Amino acid sequence: MKTLVLNQTSSFTSTKIPLPASKSESNRALIIDALTNGENKLSNLAEARDTQTMIRLLKENPPVYDVLDAGTTMRFLTAYAAATDQNKVLTGTARMCERPIGILVEALKELGADIHYMNVEGYPPLAVHGLKNQLKNRVSVRGDVSSQYISALLMIAPVLPLGIELELQGKIGSRTYIEMTLELMRSFGVSYSWEGNVIKVEAQDYKPTKFAVESDWSGASYWYSLLACADKGELFLEGLKENSLQGDSKIVDIMEFLGVRSEFKDGGVHLTKQPVKGLDHWDFTHCPDIAQTVAVTCAIIGQKMDFSGLESLRIKETDRIFALQEELGRFNAEFLEQEEELFTLIPSVKMPSEVQIKTYDDHRMAMAFMPLMTKTQVIVEDPEVVNKSYPSFWKHVDLIK
């Protein structure tokens, strides 16, 4: 097993981090591009493996779409293959084949798609045989499992002969990602309405557009955490906007309580340290990807805090609740389940002189625990796991002096 040693560094001078682009925005822009008649100008597409996989599969158009471990790529390409009436097998890593997709597949089948589960009902691999005749336009989908099913259906809606009326049932998780999808669709000339729990998109053409992808706020969160945990330092994160399409920009508000001040100027955000105001509770329903970052930060800076809205964490790249509990335990912090879906982070009581972190095939486990290096020597197992969203992550860690 390959490992990476991070030597203890508790203070650093001002460093500029050339953040990578958002894989969420990139993967949406790529699907919309593939559905547009005419030429779009997409710039700053993500270096993330999830995005590079999307680019390669759309370009080479092989009979089998192997998405590896990319959730959005799996869900968006399933809807895309159906809407463009193609015969495709969709598969991925062993973990991808444990991540549910039944809600999306059943909705596509109701619309008229011919899709079969090749192994276990409700999970990849899938055999998609296109959508020849659209049977209806109104479908209901649960909103509490993954917003990616909803985004996938919305993006194909304009190119279906009858459009789609999507009725969202129950609690909606990751709502900011649905809003991102609709905003991107609007940027490409498509109109929609969202009234109550119904989103309506009529049949219409995507218009060729210039679209520049913003830097990645999920990736930015690890640098906020590093500064929150350090004794001294300043950072400049390039390419971030104050009004972002990305819900993970909520990290600005969270870190305002945990000791990091943000100032937007010079085409990015300047981070400086400020006194910790403290934070008792945060609901991560609409920003699940930064829950690990915040848990590790609190564990290191001594902030006890309640976490809710973590329901989707068990079906991501790994069971992120279990992984957090295990790895926080390595430096004597705890992530306690208090009652259903409420967790309390109990900060570290004693920091060992060296901590070895397992990463569970989850890029966010590796990146979230990096700031531990402000307090101890850290050994990260399988550091290349970051390639899923942020291949240059360790190179950027090297910039910190």
Ligand X SMILES: C=C(OP(=O)(O)O)C(=O)O
Query: If binding is defined by CB under 6 A, does position 151 make contact with ligand S3P?
Result: yes
Q: Using alpha carbons only, what angle is made at residue 190 by residues 242 and 19, rounded to the nearest 5 degrees?
A: 30
173 binds, among ligand X, ligand S3P, none (CB under 5 to 8 A by kind): ligand S3P
CB of 365 to ligand X, least distance (A): 10
Among 312, 318, 359, 387, indicate the residue that binds ligand S3P (CB under 6 A): 312
Check if 289 is active-site: yes
- 300 versus 323: smaller Cβ distance to ligand S3P: 323
Among 91, 147, 285, 297, indicate the residue that binds ligand S3P (CB under 6 A): 147
Question: In a 3-state reduction of DSSP, which class is residue 46?
Answer: coil
- 98 versus 167: smaller Cβ distance to ligand X: 98
DSSP 302-318: T--EEEE--GGGGGSSS
Q: Tell which residue, 8, 29, 397, has the closest CA to residue 214.
A: 29
Q: Does the bond joining 125 to the residue before it have cis omega, within 30 degrees of 0?
A: yes
| Bridge partner list, 195 | 198
CA 228 → CA 50, 74, 224, 372, 374, distances in Å?
Answer: 29, 35, 6, 11, 10
Contacts (Cβ under 8 Å, ≥6 apart) of 241: 214, 264
Query: If binding is defined by CB under 6 A, does position 288 make contact with ligand S3P?
Result: yes
Query: If binding is defined by CB under 6 A, does position 222 make contact with ligand S3P?
Result: no
Question: In a 3-state reduction of DSSP, which class is residue 247?
Answer: helix
Contacts (Cβ under 8 Å, ≥6 apart) of 262: 252, 255, 256, 269, 270, 271
Contacts (Cβ under 8 Å, ≥6 apart) of 270: 234, 235, 236, 262, 263, 264
- 158 versus 247: smaller Cβ distance to ligand S3P: 247
Query: If binding is defined by CB under 6 A, does position 124 make contact with ligand S3P?
Result: no
Contact 243, 311 (CB under 8 A): no
Query: If binding is defined by CB under 6 A, does position 221 make contact with ligand S3P?
Result: no
Among 33, 66, 289, 327, indicate the residue that binds ligand X (CB under 6 A): 289
174 binds, among ligand X, ligand S3P, none (CB under 5 to 8 A by kind): ligand S3P
Return the residues of window 298-337 that contact ligand X according to CB under 6 A.
316-317
Among 40, 51, 52, 72, indicate the residue that binds ligand X (CB under 6 A): 72
Return the residues of window 342-371 that contact ligand X according to CB under 6 A.
364
- 33 versus 289: smaller Cβ distance to ligand X: 289
Give the range of 38-46, 65-73, 116-124, 241-249 binding ligand X by CB under 6 A.
Answer: 65-73
Query: If binding is defined by CB under 6 A, does position 177 make contact with ligand S3P?
Result: yes
Give the range of 69-77, 124-132, 226-234, 274-282 binding ligand X by CB under 6 A.
Answer: 69-77
Query: If binding is defined by CB under 6 A, does position 216 make contact with ligand X?
Result: no
Ranges of beta strands (E only) in 14-72 are 15-17, 41-43, 64-66
70 binds, among ligand S3P, ligand X, none (CB under 5 to 8 A by kind): ligand X
Tally of CA atoms within 13 A in the half-sphere of 175 that contains its CB? 13
Query: If binding is defined by CB under 6 A, does position 250 make contact with ligand X?
Result: no
Q: Which of 50, 69, 289, 362 is catalytic?
A: 289
Q: Tell which residue, 294, 302, 307, has the closest CA to residue 338.
A: 307
Q: Which single residue brings its beta carbon nearest to ligand X?
A: 71
CA 108 → CA 81, 112, 138, 228, 374, distances in Å?
Answer: 11, 6, 11, 45, 48
Question: In a 3-state reduction of DSSP, which class is residue 237?
Answer: strand
Among 31, 42, 70, 296, indicate the residue that binds ligand X (CB under 6 A): 70
Let me know how many helices (H) and strands (E) the chain has, helices first. 12, 21
Query: If binding is defined by CB under 6 A, does position 53 make contact with ligand S3P?
Result: no
Binding-site ranges for ligand X (CB under 6 A): 70-72, 289, 316-317, 364, 389
Binding-site ranges for ligand S3P (CB under 6 A): 24, 72, 146-148, 151, 173-174, 177, 288-289, 312
Catalytic residues: 289
